[in-house]
Amino acid sequence: MKITYLGHASLSIETRDKTLLIDPFITGNELAKDIDIDKLHADYILITHAHQDHILDVEAIAKRTGAKIISNYEIVAHYAEKGIEGHPMNHGGKAKFDFGTVHYTNAIHSSSFPDGTYGGQPGGFVIETNHHRLYIAGDTALTYDMKLIPEIIGELDLAVLPIGDNFTMGIDQAIRASKFLDCNKILGYHYDTFGYIEIDKNEAFTKFANSKKDLILLPIGGNLKI
Ligand code: NI
Ligand code: MN
C-alpha cells in the first residue's frame, strides 16, 4: 500500500490495483500548487465530512475519472444529485469493495457543506486490505471511541491523525490518540495549510519521540509504503 500526501488532509492511497483519493482539497491550497488534479488517478473518493477543505476538488476529479464516492449517506446523496455515483455508509458500519473493507468511524467535529446545507455527521475510515489496516481519523477531537478501533477491528499498521489544533486535535492529543489506538506509526495531517493550524514541527517530532511514537510528516507529493 502506497500513501501519497497531497497536502492538508488529502491523500492518495494505492492498493494492489485500485487508487483511493481521500478528501481532495488541492486547487484551494497554495502549498499544493505543484499537484495537478487533472493528473490524479482515482477509482474511489473517500470523503470524511462536507467541509470545503475536504471536498473542494471532489466533483472535478469524480467527473473526469468516473471515481465512485464513499462517504456518509448525506454526502453521497449530495453528489448523486450531480450524477456522481457513490456508496453511502454511516457510523459503525463496514462495507466490502473490490480493494478491501471500509469501516466508517466516529469523529467529533461538524459537517456542513460550504453553502450551509447539512452534510451528515463527520467520520473517519479504517481501510483494510489483505495485508494492511489503515486508520484515517478525519477532522476530529480526541475521543475515547478510538480505543474501540483496535479492539473491534484489529491492529493498525498506520494511523493518519490531524495534528494542527484549533479545528481538530493538536500534537499532545494526537499522541494520546495514538495510545488509544495502540498504534506506534502516525502520519500527521491537517496542519500548516493556513494560519489557524500552523504547528512547530520540531516540537511535534520531539514530543512524539518522547512518547515512543513514530511521527511521519511527508512533503506534499511525498509518499510512504506500508
Ligand atoms: Ni472540517
Ligand atoms: Mn478540515
pTM of the model: 0.98
What is the CA(167)–ligand 2 centre distance, in A?
A: 7
What is the CA(68)–ligand 1 centre distance, in A?
A: 21
Ligand with smallest separation from the Cα of 191: 2
At residue 128 the predicted structure's pLDDT band, cuts being 50, 70 and 90, is very high
What is the CA(130)–ligand 1 centre distance, in A?
A: 30
Ligand with smallest separation from the Cα of 122: 1
What is the CA(67)–ligand 2 centre distance, in A?
A: 22
Written as nine digits, the cell of 114 is: 460550504
CA distance 78 to 112: 11
Contact (CB, 8 A) for 188 and 201: no
Mean pLDDT of the 141-159 span: 98
What is the CA(103)–ligand 1 centre distance, in A?
A: 19
What is the CA(192)–ligand 2 centre distance, in A?
A: 12
Mean pLDDT of the 128-145 span: 97
Express as a percent the part of the chain with pLDDT over 70: 100
What is the CA(54)–ligand 2 centre distance, in A?
A: 6
Hey, which bits of the chain come out as E strands? 2-5, 11-14, 19-22, 44-46, 68-72, 86-89, 94-97, 100-106, 123-128, 133-136, 158-162, 185-189, 214-216, 223-225
Q: Give the chain's mean pLDDT.
A: 98
pLDDT in tens, 60-117: 999 999 999 999 999 999 999 999 999 999 999 999 999 999 999 999 999 999 999 9
What is the CA(53)–ligand 2 centre distance, in A?
A: 5
What is the CA(12)–ligand 2 centre distance, in A?
A: 17
Mean pLDDT of the 199-224 span: 98
Express as a percent the part of the chain with pLDDT over 90: 100
Ligand with smallest separation from the Cα of 110: 1
What is the CA(49)–ligand 1 centre distance, in A?
A: 7
Contact (CB, 8 A) for 158 and 187: yes
What is the CA(88)–ligand 2 centre distance, in A?
A: 21
What is the CA(56)–ligand 2 centre distance, in A?
A: 11
